[in-house]
Amino acid sequence: MSDSVIMHGTTILTVRKGNEVVVAGDGQVTLGSTVIKASARKVRQLGAGGPKGNKVIGGFAGATADAFTLFERLEAKLEQYPDQLLRASVELAKDWRTDRYLRRLEAMMIVADAKTSLVLTGTGDVLEPENNIAGIGSGGTFALAAARALIDTDMDAEAIARKAMSIAAEICVYTNENLTIEKLSA
């Protein structure tokens, strides 16, 4: 597949500070060097929560159809393991790595509940980020660096995420400032 038909263009960031966690994503989708859509929603709530009403939020980087397939699979795992985001994520990662169909999916995910933030990859990684901050996608490292610089300020998690995403959008041509933000409190 040539670069002209590979979809690029996502920055997803999670920031956990105090009793709050935020997952933020930009809205830009590109095909080669053309912006196809500027207002895509790459961050959303997953499932209805477990018996205790625990909510999960997530964001994806990569091929959209692949990411939605993974979101659906994670929601099924959350139904199987209610209120156990880590266990559901590990089970998804096992399937993702071993299933012939899922192995071909090209996406990464950040998921969070009130207690845990995780980065999920197709190589079987289920990573809990250091410093309660993680970034994925083409602008993820820029947003991550900015958020790390801001974490010790008086800003709350949402303000840090907004500022870090703005900085990433100034640097990464595949990132815009049309944000979707989901937030949970502990």
The catalytic residues are: 10
Position of tokens 């079987």? 124
* Edge-first strand listing for the sheet containing 20-25: 133-137, 11-17, 20-25, 180-185
HEC sequence for the chain:
CCHHHCEECCEEEEEEECCEEEEEECCCEEECCEEEECCCCCEEEECCCCCCCCCEEEEEEECHHHHHHHHHHHHHHHHHCCCCHHHHHHHHHHHHHHCHHHHCCCEEEEEECCCCEEEECCCCCEECCHHHEEEEECCHHHHHHHHHHHCCCCCCHHHHHHHHHHHHHHHCCCCCCCCEEEEEEC
